[in-house]
Structure 1
Amino acid sequence: MNATFDFAGKTLLITGATGGIGRQTAELFHRSGANVILMDLDADRLESMRSEMAMRVVAVAGDASANEPIQTALRLGAESFGGGLDFVVPAAGIYPESSILDTGEELWRKVMSVNLDGVYRLLHAAIPHMNDGGSIVNFASVAGHRGSKNHGHYAASKGAILALTRSLAHELGPKLRVNAVSPGTIRTPMVESLVAARGSAMLSETPLARYGEATEVASVVAFLCSDAASFITGEALHVNGGLFMAG
């Protein structure tokens, strides 16, 4: 996929930057001219990614659900690029498999900490630095709409992201637009175990009869941030090959 956009002079802050979808999103924005502020827990992969991009990029290694790395990213972004933020994409997330009876307090809190609390902390800190006309794109999931067997913690966190997205669209308009992307089964390391266990069944329910690619999600994130989506806010765009069709 070779989608391109004009993001010259704009600045993106993205967490989960070295993940399958996060990386493709960051690289697409960078190719389209944006400055990028990368955040990820994996310091080695993050440094490799920063080095490959070479210019118009800063990187901060740390827990995306913790305040200190977020503040560091905001400071370095301001020092390097000035002008505030135009796009914020909280892409960090975890997807452990566990039935509700096997999900202890510690695992429940970990999933909520990364998938929900981390989004709150990032947006709470970043929104005051965002420019008029800016865009936030959150990551929900098909699981947040229809549930997911043995992933109740994940589905709950993504359902909350949908509600947060709509609420912020009300609060922050008309200055900012806030939308979400709801991927289905995308070919990334995060869903390898799901594909191994239930891949054939999911494909049989998917009209396009294949898994999605991270580049296909990245292009939708970029679309939602672009002027082509200037009258879209409070929405969740499904990128799942028809696995889930919202009524």
Structure 2
Amino acid sequence: MPDTSATPDASAKPATPAQGSEPSGKVALVTGASRGIGYGIARALVARGDRVVITGRNEDALKQAVESLGPDRAVGVPGKAHDEAHQALAVERAMEAFGRVDYLVNNAGTNPVFGPIADLDLAVARKVFETNVVSALGFAQRTWHAWQKDNGGAIVNIASVAGVAASPFVGAYGMSKAAMVNLTLQLAHEFAPGVRVNAIAPAVVKTKFAAALYEGREEEAVASYPLGRLGVPEDIGGAAAFLLSDAAAWITGQTLVVDGGLFLNAGV
């Protein structure tokens, strides 16, 4: 079940820290954050006082997101997540702009195919894994070597409920997100004790990326959710902000399912 996108409201006030709060001094790199879940996470982090470096493929959308977040709080780096030169540039820009990169959120993802894996084009499968999994490893490696190895920090990988249970017609996406869950475990083990690594597995979140799963049939889709609604990017933003906070200081290697109770009906 896909789970990323939706353009930021250009009329929204910049997501500056809440009145009375002090800037945290912490810096987060959030991939795929020009809209949708990534933007929701970046906004939650800026609102609590962090600064962010955000990435995205669409340069115009990225500029709009930076303006909404606050140009003094955010830096945008356009590019494709699977491009190793882009990965390097994003981390370099974080270090140049803010001198540190405490947090990494691997949110960038793709799901270009819908259908049974029996007929899946293997070239498409490779593209899905390259973007959804290998790029996350690349960003983690670069963030580790640039800052976290010597200074500590935290990583959140955005997985999906499709990665922890079979989901019809999005098998390639689900396989990649299952790999993301395992990548989380591996990184948590290898990066401990200085860096905590966790994942979030959302169900359907109302974004452009996931629109095919609910548009025109939202009432039917919502019927499967005990909490009576689909997710919104802010739901995932709050969960990520928690996992990247000191309140989660003794949590690592976990996958937090954020699904509105969907799995209660699935019996999982």
How far is the alpha carbon of 1:87 from its aligned partner?
A: 0.4
- Decide whether the 8 Å contact of 2:225 with 2:262 is kept in 1: yes
- Decide whether the 8 Å contact of 2:77 with 2:90 is kept in 1: yes
Structure 2 counterpart of 1:124: 141
Candidates 47, 56, 72, aligned match of 2:63? 47
* One-letter identity of the residue aligned with 1:21: I
Find out whether 1:14 has 2:15 as its counterpart. no
Candidates 65, 88, 92, aligned match of 2:108? 92
Whole-angstrom CA distance in 2 between matches of 1:160 and 1:117: 10
Could you say if the C-alpha distance between residues 207 and 6 of structure 1 is closer, same or farther in structure 2, counting changes exceeding 3 Å?
A: farther
How far is the alpha carbon of 1:201 from its aligned partner?
A: 5.0
How far is the alpha carbon of 1:46 from its aligned partner?
A: 0.5
Candidates 156, 161, 164, aligned match of 1:145? 164
Whole-angstrom CA distance in 2 between matches of 1:75 and 1:209: 43
Candidates 61, 70, 76, aligned match of 2:87? 70
How far is the alpha carbon of 1:122 from its aligned partner?
A: 1.1
Whole-angstrom CA distance in 1 between matches of 2:185 and 2:215: 34
How far is the alpha carbon of 1:57 from its aligned partner?
A: 2.1
Corresponding residue SS for 1:244: helix
How far is the alpha carbon of 1:179 from its aligned partner?
A: 0.2
TM-score (norm 2): 0.85
- Decide whether the 8 Å contact of 1:66 with 1:121 is kept in 2: no
- Decide whether the 8 Å contact of 1:17 with 1:23 is kept in 2: yes
Which blocks of at least 5 consecutive residues in structure 2 are unaligned? 1-14
Which of 176-185 and 19-28 deviates more?
19-28
Could you say if the C-alpha distance between residues 71 and 168 of structure 1 is closer, same or farther in structure 2, counting changes exceeding 3 Å?
A: same
Residues 97-123 of structure 1: CA deviation (Å, up to 9, x unaligned): 232244212221221111111111111
Corresponding residue SS for 1:137: strand
Structure 2 counterpart of 1:163: 182
TM-score (norm 1): 0.92
Residues 152-179 of structure 1: CA deviation (Å, up to 9, x unaligned): 1000000011111011111111100000
Higher helix fraction: Structure 1 or Structure 2? Answer: 1
How far is the alpha carbon of 1:196 from its aligned partner?
A: 3.6
How far is the alpha carbon of 1:204 from its aligned partner?
A: 2.8
- Decide whether the 8 Å contact of 1:13 with 1:36 is kept in 2: yes
Corresponding residue SS for 2:110: coil
Give the root-mean-square deviation of aligned CA atoms. 2.1
Percentage identity across aligned positions?
35
- Decide whether the 8 Å contact of 1:207 with 1:241 is kept in 2: yes
Pairing 1:1-247 to 2, within 5 Å after superposition: 8-52=24-68, 53-82=70-99, 84-96=100-112, 97-131=114-148, 132-196=151-215, 199-200=218-219, 202-245=221-264
How far is the alpha carbon of 1:59 from its aligned partner?
A: 1.2
Which blocks of at least 5 consecutive residues in structure 1 are unaligned? none
Structure 1 counterpart of 2:9: none
Whole-angstrom CA distance in 2 between matches of 1:199 and 1:147: 21
Residue correspondences, number: 245
